């Protein structure tokens, strides 16, 4: 509905695609398999794309609603100069599980490696998130570059193979909503959408800590319709669009006015998940871009896991 409203206001038509992961999107952008005017990657991928010269600098004269973006989402680690991105949505990662199938109280990433739930466990189907789960359970940083720690995480994920039902991304919706699987890690906002279709689902922030992410709007290098993309960014930054968007996607807009208004409309559970307290946030990490040597090790270990 927002796309239609934007087209009505500007005459600019929006064609929308999704990807299974940041890595899948990056691969398409770099190989020139399709031409995009706007992409919405996550923090660490934005940093990588900037370092590789894959993003255009933004013309903020076409984005006056940038003034509505909360200052805490400007000039962050992934884009310190603030020239390449406009924060879109933010959220956290946690465990989603079916209380009817798992009566235990879940508070740890260890549940994903527990033989009691064999055949009912799902795991992220992308290397950074999957390794992030294992690293946090083992007590390590999400952003470690230590090969020994990464190899230990690899062994943990590998050991899960005998009890894991499968690797998933958006397939987790169907599997958890239908009861085909009982537990998996995913993004907090999506839990609220799943809950509407299966009230037996519950959410937990693991005690070992978790990922906090920022997704942001960027323009790929060589985009054919750069100004149109900037006008779309401006439209999506408006308070009205941000409020309508949050109501559907379950994440927190970087528009402070919209976020504050929306928080006031939520029940206690939804507010605690979308707007976690300082005690939860203090135990979170944001993914950062890693050295090429570490990225190569990630690729090598992930291929071994999936083969």
Give the mean pLDDT of 214-231. 96
d(CA 43, CA 214): 6
- Specify whether the CB–CB gap between 289 and 128 falls below 8 A: no
Report residue 231's pLDDT band, with 50, 70 and 90 as the boundaries: very high
Helix, strand, coil share of the chain (percent; to 5): 50, 15, 35
User: Which token pair is 50?
Assistant: 């900037």
Contact, 22 vs 49, CB < 8 A? Answer: no
pLDDT of residue 31: 85
Closest CA to 138 of 118, 166, 157, 117: 157
Tell me if 89 sits within 8 A of 251, measured CB to CB: yes
Dihedral angle computed from the Cα positions of residues 170, 174, 177 and 179, in that order, rounded to the nearest 10 degrees:
-120
Lookup result for tokens 């930054």: 237
The 3-class secondary structure across 216-285, one letter per residue, is EEECECCCCCHHHHHHHHHHHHCHHHHHHHHHHHCCEECEHHHHHHHHCCCCHHHHHHHCCCHHHHCCEE
Q: Span 204-218, mean pLDDT?
A: 97
Whole-structure pTM value: 0.88
Model pLDDT, residue 35: 86
The CA distance from 213 to 84, in Å, is: 17
Which pLDDT band holds residue 34 (cuts at 50, 70, 90)? low
Distances (CA, A) of 256 to 141, 174, 204: 29, 32, 26
- Averaged pLDDT for residues 47-74: 96
Mean pLDDT taken over the chain: 96
Tell me the pLDDT tens digit for each residue of 234-287.
Answer: 999 999 999 999 999 889 999 999 999 999 999 999 999 999 999 999 999 999
In this predicted model, what pLDDT tens digit does every residue of 58-70 receive, in sequence order?
A: 999 999 999 999 9
Tens-digit pLDDT profile for residues 158-173: 999 999 999 999 999 9
Spatial CA neighbour of 205 closest among 42, 91, 43, 92: 92
- pLDDT mean over 218-234: 97
The Cα 106–Cα 183 span in angstroms is 10
pLDDT at 152 over 90: yes
pLDDT at site 33: 58
d(CA 203, CA 111): 13
Distances 289 to 87, 136, 207, 294 between C-alpha atoms, Å: 17, 17, 25, 10
């Amino acid at each position: 509905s927002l796309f239609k409203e934007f087209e009505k206001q500007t005459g600019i038509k929006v064609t929308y695609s999704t990807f299974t992961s940041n890595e899948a999107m990056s691969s398409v952008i770099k190989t020139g398999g399709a031409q995009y005017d706007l992409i919405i990657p996550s923090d660490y991928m934005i940093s990588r794309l900037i370092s590789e010269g894959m993003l255009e600098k933004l013309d903020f004269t076409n984005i006056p609603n940038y003034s509505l973006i909360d200052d805490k989402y400007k000039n962050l680690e992934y884009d310190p100069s603030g020239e390449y991105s406009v924060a879109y949505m933010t959220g956290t990662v946690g465990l989603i599980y079916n209380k009817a199938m798992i009566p235990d109280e879940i508070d740890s990433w260890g549940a994903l490696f527990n033989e009691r739930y064999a055949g009912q466990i799902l795991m992220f189907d992308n290397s950074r998130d999957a390794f992030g789960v294992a690293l946090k359970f083992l007590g390590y940083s999400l952003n470690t570059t230590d090969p020994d720690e990464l190899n230990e995480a690899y062994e943990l994920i590998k050991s899960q193979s005998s009890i894991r039902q499968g690797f998933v991304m958006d397939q987790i919706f169907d599997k958890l909503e239908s009861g085909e699987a009982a537990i998996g890690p995913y993004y907090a906002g999506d839990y609220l959408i799943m809950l509407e279709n299966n009230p037996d689902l519950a959410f937990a922030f693991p005690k070992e800590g978790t990922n906090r992410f920022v997704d942001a709007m960027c323009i790929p290098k060589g985009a054919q319709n750069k100004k149109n993309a900037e006008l779309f960014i401006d439209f999506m930054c408006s308070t009205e669009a941000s409020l309508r968007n949050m109501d559907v996607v379950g994440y927190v807009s970087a528009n402070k006015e919209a976020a504050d208004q929306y928080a006031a409309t939520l029940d206690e559970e939804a507010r605690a998940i979308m707007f976690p307290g300082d005690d939860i946030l203090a135990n979170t990490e944001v993914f950062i871009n890693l050295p090429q040597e570490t990225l190569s090790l990630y690729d090598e270990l992930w291929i071994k896991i999936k083969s």
